[in-house]
Chains A and B, each alone.
Chain A
Amino acid sequence: MIVATTNLTHRYGDRLALDSLNLNVERGQIYGLLGPNGGGKSTLFRILTTMMRPTSGSASIAGFDVGDQPQEVRRRIGVVFQTQSLDKKITVGENLNAQGNLFGFSGAELKRRIDDVMSRVNITDRRDEIVGNLSGGLKRRVEIAKALIHDPEVVLMDEPSTGLDPGARRELSQYFEDLRSRGATILITTHILEEADRCDRLLVLHKGKAVAEGTPSELKKRFGGDVVVIEPADVNGLTAKIEEKFKVKAQLSDRRIRVEIANGHRFITEVIEAFPGAIDSISLHKPSLEDVFLRETGESFE
């Protein structure tokens, strides 16, 4: 396992931010930590990037303990923060130069690396521009170039898609593929469901606990086929009546009743006929990651 945690737990005072988390990421994967804000993703990110020691349990990257051997871990990880980490007053080239020096590269070797990362994210023609004058999308590319200068084994990105337009998001997936083809592992945190859908595997985090783990399609397949959402005229009582009559599990959340069921189209006709006038609207969809989250936590995602 290139990234692994064992019973990783973190508390801020009385608040439990991570609760006995076990994470296992294989080399070459694009792995997503999915959850709403406050779910524990940021805490996990800070521990894995050696910014913070966990209260208990352990975490390792490439076989090195992040708490005890932070230097070894830092040599092998590339980190893209959600907030910017560039020096806006100097040029793209100067930023990359400083970053390369911090990792111990200089001279021809550093020049080769700078040329390489700049061409990989298509910013070769921006070398002499002051970072502060670049657009948001270009800045993000420079951030990525900066994180890749030492060819890290594991790239950690905090909410990489947040604030990016669709074009920039597509570019980002291309960089992920490029990295994976070079044998790197990518670990991202996200609260964007589409982004999570593009990961190889996901860990769904809620209130510091892992509530589900697997590939996106595995997670969705755990459902019995379709998801039917019913808006009742009167919230009281209908959920129990549906459960009793159809022998299914119905979940009431946010004034809506959700039922997971095979052959949902047939169920729709039956339920409307069974409770005439009690249903305002009814709809059917294939399970999404949002459904996975709702089912595992009983809470809606946002």
Chain B
Amino acid sequence: MSATVLPARTAQSLPANPSYALAVKALCKRDLIRFWRERTRVLGFLGTPLIFWLVVGSGFGNLGFYFPGSLTLNVMFSAIFSMISLIEDRREGFLLSMMVSPAPRSSMVMGKVLGSSILAWLQTAALLLFLPLTGFSVTPLRLVELLLVLFAIAFTFTSIGFYFAWRTETTQGFHAIMNLVLFPLWMVSGALFPISGAHGWMQWLMRANPMMYALSAVKKLLQPDLNDGSPSLGISIAVTVACGLLVWAASTASASKTASRSEA
């Protein structure tokens, strides 16, 4: 044994004391900064739903008809696909340093989900600027409700995105899974045809589809007297939020249980 005297560790070098809120803030802020630095992403995310809505709406000769569908489609798809950042984080190694930090895994899930939700929500909120063109008349209170519902949808679908992205190795794989799952779900969400006119078995399929409830909530807020067989506003919001919390809890559980997939 050598007799070297080691310097005493001072008070400032006491071990770090992780905080849930700080970790969530850090991850959220990071995703927002990254998004803002990439102007092409901003343009792409705003442009795609805008073009979609203009083309489909003009095709029907009614810009209002497809507006709720465009809003919902936009918030759901950008929510899910923003989770590609989780796969990029893993590929670039950033995820590794999150995994060996003392920040609770639950804060890591929340940080990623919240950051992506905010992004998807902001992009969709921007589409609301075109609301005056659609012929819908909306009170300020309704507008606030609409924004809240859109945020709930964003949270639900980012959580779904997290759940799948955690298990997926490549962005290509993620695209493949999401296209396989998302487009069929979207087709039977009531965006293409109303639930009231569908066959009996199709109606059941639509009722089991979380996207149907998200779309229904948005439709009911914009057209309170719409009667197309979709569930009431209360049920639509309740199912959307419940579904979101469920998937979020499942995501947190799987992130806490294992290391990320590439470490398994």
List the interface of chain A (C-beta within 8 A of B): 27-28, 46, 49-52, 71-72, 74-77, 79, 81, 83-90, 94, 97-99, 101-106, 130, 146, 150-151, 153, 181-183
In the complex with contacts A101-B23, A102-B23, A181-B7 CB distance below 8 A:
yes
B78 to chain A minimum Cβ distance, whole angstroms, is 18
Residue of B16, B19, B38 with most chain A CB atoms under a 10 A cut-off: B16
List the interface of chain B (C-beta within 8 A of A): 4, 6-9, 12-13, 15-19, 22-23, 25-27, 29-30, 33-34, 37-38, 89, 92-94, 96-104, 259, 263
A52 to chain B minimum Cβ distance, whole angstroms, is 7
B5 to chain A minimum Cβ distance, whole angstroms, is 10
In the complex with contacts A75-B17, A90-B34, A150-B15, A102-B7 CB distance below 8 A:
no
Contact A105–B16 (Cβ < 8 Å): yes
Contact B6–A104 (Cβ < 8 Å): no
Neighbouring A residues of B29 by C-beta, 8 Å: 98
Contact B7–A81 (Cβ < 8 Å): no
A-B contact pairs, 16 of them (CB 8 A): A51-B100, A52-B259, A74-B100, A75-B16, A75-B18, A81-B97, A83-B96, A85-B92, A89-B38, A90-B30, A99-B101, A101-B23, A102-B102, A104-B22, A181-B7, A183-B6
A147 to B23, CA, bound (A): 16
A46 to B259, CA, bound (A): 11
Neighbouring A residues of B259 by C-beta, 8 Å: 51-52
A150 to B12, CA, bound (A): 9
In-complex Cβ contact of A87 among B8, B94, B102 (8 A): B94
Task: With CB as the reference atom, state the residue of chain A lying closest to B25.
Answer: A101
Neighbouring B residues of A76 by C-beta, 8 Å: 15
Contact B15–A99 (Cβ < 8 Å): no
Contact A85–B94 (Cβ < 8 Å): yes
A52 to B13, CA, bound (A): 27
Task: With CB as the reference atom, state the residue of chain A lying closest to B29.
Answer: A98
Contact B25–A46 (Cβ < 8 Å): no
In-complex Cβ contact of B101 among A103, A181, A182, A183 (8 A): A103
A46 to B23, CA, bound (A): 23
In-complex Cβ contact of B93 among A46, A52, A83, A130 (8 A): A83
Contact A85–B18 (Cβ < 8 Å): no
B2 to chain A minimum Cβ distance, whole angstroms, is 9
Neighbouring B residues of A84 by C-beta, 8 Å: 92-93
Neighbouring A residues of B6 by C-beta, 8 Å: 27-28, 183
Task: With CB as the reference atom, state the residue of chain B lying closest to A112.
Answer: B12
A259 to chain B minimum Cβ distance, whole angstroms, is 34
Contact A98–B96 (Cβ < 8 Å): no
The prevalent SS among residues of A at the interface is loop
Contact A103–B18 (Cβ < 8 Å): yes
Neighbouring A residues of B37 by C-beta, 8 Å: 89-90, 130
Neighbouring A residues of B98 by C-beta, 8 Å: 102
B200 to chain A minimum Cβ distance, whole angstroms, is 50
Task: With CB as the reference atom, state the residue of chain A lying closest to B17.
Answer: A104
Residue of A89, A130, A182 with most chain B CB atoms under a 10 A cut-off: A89
In-complex Cβ contact of B97 among A50, A99, A105, A130 (8 A): A99
Contact B33–A94 (Cβ < 8 Å): yes
Neighbouring B residues of A98 by C-beta, 8 Å: 26-27, 29-30
Neighbouring A residues of B19 by C-beta, 8 Å: 104
A181 to B143, CA, bound (A): 61
Residue of B26, B98, B102 with most chain A CB atoms under a 10 A cut-off: B102
B260 to chain A minimum Cβ distance, whole angstroms, is 9
A27 to chain B minimum Cβ distance, whole angstroms, is 6
Task: With CB as the reference atom, state the residue of chain B lying closest to A100.
Answer: B26
In-complex Cβ contact of B16 among A52, A81, A103, A181 (8 A): A103
In the complex with contacts A89-B37, A90-B34, A181-B7, A103-B97 CB distance below 8 A:
no
A84 to B26, CA, bound (A): 19
In the complex with contacts A151-B12, A183-B7, A88-B102 CB distance below 8 A:
no
B7 to chain A minimum Cβ distance, whole angstroms, is 5
Neighbouring A residues of B16 by C-beta, 8 Å: 75, 103-105, 150
Contact A51–B263 (Cβ < 8 Å): yes
Contact B101–A74 (Cβ < 8 Å): yes
A88 to B9, CA, bound (A): 33
Residue of B29, B94, B99, B101 with most chain A CB atoms under a 10 A cut-off: B101
In the complex with contacts A28-B6, A51-B259, A94-B30, A75-B100 CB distance below 8 A:
no
Q: Top 5 A-B pairs ranked by shortest CB distance?
A: A101-B26, A103-B16, A75-B15, A85-B93, A150-B16
Contact A183–B93 (Cβ < 8 Å): no
A206 to chain B minimum Cβ distance, whole angstroms, is 24
B147 to chain A minimum Cβ distance, whole angstroms, is 28
